[in-house]
A and B are shown apart, each in its own frame.
Chain A
Amino acid sequence: MNDMLLSVEDLHVRFRTYAGLVHAVNGMTFNVRQGEIFGLVGESGCGKSVTGFAVVRMVPFPGEIARGRIEFQGEDLAQKSEAEMKDIRGRRIAMIFQDPSASLNPVFSIGNQVTRVIRQHVSASRYEARQLALKMFDAVGLPDPERAFRAYPHELSGGMQQRVMIAMALSSGAELLIADEPSTALDVTIQAQILALLTRLRETQGVSILLITHDLGVVAETCDRVGVAYAGNIVEMGRVEDVLYQMKHPYTQGLLAALPRPTHRGQPLQSIKGSVPDGLRLPAGCPFHPRCPEVMDICQLEKPALVLVGPKDHVAACHLYGEGETA
Chain B
Amino acid sequence: MASTVEWGEAPTQERTTRFREFGLMWQAFRRDPLALVSLLVIVLFVLGAVFAPWLAPYPEQGEGAPNITEKFEPPSREHLLGTDYLGRDVLSRILYGGRSSLSIGFLVVIVATVIGVPMGAIAGYYGGWIDDILMRVTDIFLAFPPLLLAIAIAAALGPSFTNAMIAIAITWWPWYTRLVRAQTVSVRERYFVEAARSIGVSDANIIVRHVFPNIFTPVLVQSTMDIGSAILTGAVIAFIGLGVQPPTADWGKMVSTGRIYFIERPWYAGAAGAAIFLVTLAFNLLGDAVRDVADPRTRRSVS
Q: Which of B9, B299, B303 contacts A20 (CB 8 A)?
A: B303
Interfacial chain B residues near A275, Cβ < 8 Å: 8-9
Q: Which of A16, A19, A21, A274 contacts B9 (CB 8 A)?
A: A274
Whether A18 and B301, one on each chain, are in contact in the complex, defined by CB atoms closer than 8 angstroms, is yes
Known: A273-B6, A274-B6. A280 touches B300 (CB 8 A): no
Q: Does B195 contact A (CB under 8 A)?
A: no
Q: Does A325 contact B (CB under 8 A)?
A: no
In this complex, what residue of B is CB-closest to A271? Answer: B5
In this complex, what residue of A is CB-closest to B302? Answer: A62
Interfacial chain A residues near B9, Cβ < 8 Å: 274-275, 277-278, 281, 290
Cα distance, A18 to B300, chains bound together (Å): 5
Whether A17 and B12, one on each chain, are in contact in the complex, defined by CB atoms closer than 8 angstroms, is no
Interface string of A156-175 (1 = CB under 8 A from B): 00000000000000000000
The residues in A between 265 and 314 inclusive whose CB is less than 8 angstroms from any CB of B are: 273-275, 277-278, 280-281, 290
Known: A273-B6, A274-B6. A281 touches B12 (CB 8 A): yes
Q: A18-B301, A21-B303, A281-B12 are in contact. List 6 more A-B contacts (CB 8 A).
A: A18-B299, A20-B303, A273-B8, A274-B8, A274-B9, A290-B9
Whether A18 and B302, one on each chain, are in contact in the complex, defined by CB atoms closer than 8 angstroms, is yes
By CB atoms of chain B within 10 A, which of A18, A62, A277 has the most? A18
Cα distance, A281 to B11, chains bound together (Å): 11
Interfacial chain B residues near A127, Cβ < 8 Å: none
Whether A17 and B303, one on each chain, are in contact in the complex, defined by CB atoms closer than 8 angstroms, is yes
Distance in Å: Cβ of A270 to nearest Cβ of chain B: 13
The residues in B between 1 and 21 inclusive whose CB is less than 8 angstroms from any CB of A are: 5-6, 8-9, 12-13
Whether B8 and A19, one on each chain, are in contact in the complex, defined by CB atoms closer than 8 angstroms, is no
In this complex, what residue of B is CB-closest to A281? Answer: B12
Interfacial chain B residues near A290, Cβ < 8 Å: 9
Distance in Å: Cβ of A258 to nearest Cβ of chain B: 14
Interfacial chain B residues near A274, Cβ < 8 Å: 6, 8-9
In this complex, what residue of B is CB-closest to A20? Answer: B303
Interfacial chain B residues near A278, Cβ < 8 Å: 9, 12
Cα distance, A17 to B298, chains bound together (Å): 11
Q: Which of B6, B8, B12, B303 contacts A18 (CB 8 A)?
A: B303
Interface string of B286-303 (1 = CB under 8 A from A): 000000000000011111
Interfacial chain B residues near A280, Cβ < 8 Å: 12
Interface string of A78-116 (1 = CB under 8 A from B): 000000000000000000000000000000000000000
Q: Which of B5, B8, B13, B303 contacts A16 (CB 8 A)?
A: B303
Cα distance, A52 to B60, chains bound together (Å): 73
Known: A273-B6, A274-B6. A16 touches B12 (CB 8 A): no
Interfacial chain A residues near B299, Cβ < 8 Å: 18
Interfacial chain B residues near A18, Cβ < 8 Å: 299-303
Interfacial chain A residues near B303, Cβ < 8 Å: 16-18, 20-21, 62
Cα distance, A280 to B300, chains bound together (Å): 14
